[in-house]
Structure 1
Amino acid sequence: MSLPDNSLWENVLAGDERAFEALFRQQYPALYGYGLRLTGDEEMAKDGIQELFQRLWQRRARLGQLAEGAVRPYLFKALRHQLANDARAHTRRAGWHTAYAAELAADFHYSPEDFLIAQELSEAQRVQLLQALAQLSNRQREAIYLKFFDGFAYDRIADIMGLNPQSARNLIYQSLHVLRQHLPPAVWLLLLSQWALQVRLFFNVFTNN
């Protein structure tokens, strides 16, 4: 079944199992990529997605219609909450008591292979890229991922992360500024080539400063 997200969502609300399976297959790769980077744990990401969809199906009668283009952001936000709840449950079982232990992984995880430019980089440049990403805060890395890997608009990023749209914009702007400062020009330009459409406005700002 190949239907737009919103059509599948409407059919799921009506109890269509085939639409539910199609929605799961359609959204799984993006959700898994996000969940894996949030947790750094393959099994936790997979389990979180399974639990999320089980809950969606069980509660479908209580769910409402979503605006055009809102299905994927809704699922990302729901997965973020699901994984946070799973982490809290795990920490209670493990008896951890630090403030952050009940949240998601301390780092939003990247590897060089996440980038289309990876094959064009030397080993030293890959290390430089990861070191530059390490200069970003956890929330900055997450915002960058949502913007440039999943293509969400600022208002969607804000909703997923529990921010206002201006804060989401600021996170992206600050992130790009930090990356430009910490990357060698050759790597920065390659990164821009991957993110060309999204970064163009920021690049104009930077080159004018």
Structure 2
Amino acid sequence: MFMNDEELYQRLLNGDKEALEALYDKYEKLLFSMAYRTCQQNEMAEEAVQELFLKLWTRRAKYDSTKGKFSSWLLTVMRYTAIDLLKKKENQNYTLEDNKDYDEYEPSTEDLLEWKERGEMLRKAVQTLSNEQASIVNLFYFKGLTQREIADHLNLSLGTVKGRIRLALKHLKKELGQLKEKGGLGDVT
């Protein structure tokens, strides 16, 4: 019996370990990839993925279906989890030694193709933003700065940064929707 993400999440909230396993199996590679891009270390990316699923299991991260898709929410939680872990490790002056026995993560050809297609569409959509919006989106989503750090870095008010991010995301969602209609972009919104 096929269950969508929200059904699995509800089962997880009721203590269903199989639902947790199903979500892990479905999203582990994608989440690891995002964590790795942030942390740049296999061990830390693995730790971030484990931390995320621990948050789900212990209900420290709560999904609200009225605010967006489960997959988008999960990726957002992963991003913040990885950033928090990276900052925590940096504050402890913690360095990981390279482990030569560790198998490098190898995404499948299908994953690589899908990520490439989505990346191209996202780059096209970001190019339609104003320079200010594109700069803030880059700092927030790709450099991992907080809204407060962006405000300080660009000498803007926090409200201005929040507003520009909100407008940029609204614009990107519209643009990605149009690109999806034109070119068959997968499920990115």
State how 1:28-177 maps to structure 2 within 5 Å: 28-59=28-59, 63=62, 66-67=65-66, 70-94=69-93, 115=116, 139-140=137-138, 164-168=165-169
Larger radius of gyration: 1
SS in structure 2 of the partner of residue 94 of structure 1: coil
Structure 1 contact 48–79 (Cα < 8 Å) conserved: yes
Structure 2 contact 38–83 (Cα < 8 Å) conserved: no
Query: Match of 1:22, as an amino acid?
Result: A
Deviating above 6 A after TM superposition, structure 1's stretches of 4 or more consecutive aligned residues are none
Measured after TM superposition, the shift of residue 143 of structure 1 is: 5.8
Measured after TM superposition, the shift of residue 165 of structure 1 is: 3.5
State the distance in 2 between where 1:81 and 1:57 align.
17
Among the aligned pairs, what percent are the same residue? 23
Equivalent pairs counted in the alignment come to 128
Structure 2 segments unaligned to the other structure (5+ residues): 95-111, 118-133, 143-161, 173-177, 184-189
What is residue 145 of structure 2 aligned with on the other side? Answer: none
Measured after TM superposition, the shift of residue 141 of structure 1 is: 8.8
Counterparts in 2 of 1:89 and 1:140: CA distance versus 1, 3 Å: closer
State the distance in 2 between where 1:72 and 1:80 align.
12
**TM-score, normalised via structure 2 length:** 0.51
Measured after TM superposition, the shift of residue 90 of structure 1 is: 0.8
Measured after TM superposition, the shift of residue 25 of structure 1 is: 0.9
What is residue 197 of structure 1 aligned with on the other side? Answer: 179
Structure 1 contact 13–63 (Cα < 8 Å) conserved: no
**TM-score, normalised via structure 1 length:** 0.47
What is residue 12 of structure 2 aligned with on the other side? Answer: 12
Counterparts in 2 of 1:200 and 1:44: CA distance versus 1, 3 Å: same
Structure 1 contact 35–80 (Cα < 8 Å) conserved: yes
State the distance in 2 between where 1:93 and 1:68 align.
35
State the distance in 2 between where 1:142 and 1:36 align.
17
Structure 1 segments unaligned to the other structure (5+ residues): 96-111, 117-135, 145-161, 173-195, 202-209
Measured after TM superposition, the shift of residue 138 of structure 1 is: 8.7
Counterparts in 2 of 1:69 and 1:30: CA distance versus 1, 3 Å: farther
Structure 2 contact 137–165 (Cα < 8 Å) conserved: no
State the distance in 1 between where 2:82 and 2:20 align.
21
State the distance in 1 between where 2:81 and 2:21 align.
20
Quote the RMSD (CA, aligned, Å): 4.1
Task: Summarize deviations over 1:11-37 as a string: whole Å, max 9, x none.
Answer: 111111101110111111221222222
Query: Match of 2:82, as an amino acid?
Result: L
Task: Summarize deviations over 1:178-199 as a string: whole Å, max 9, x none.
Answer: xxxxxxxxxxxxxxxxxx9349
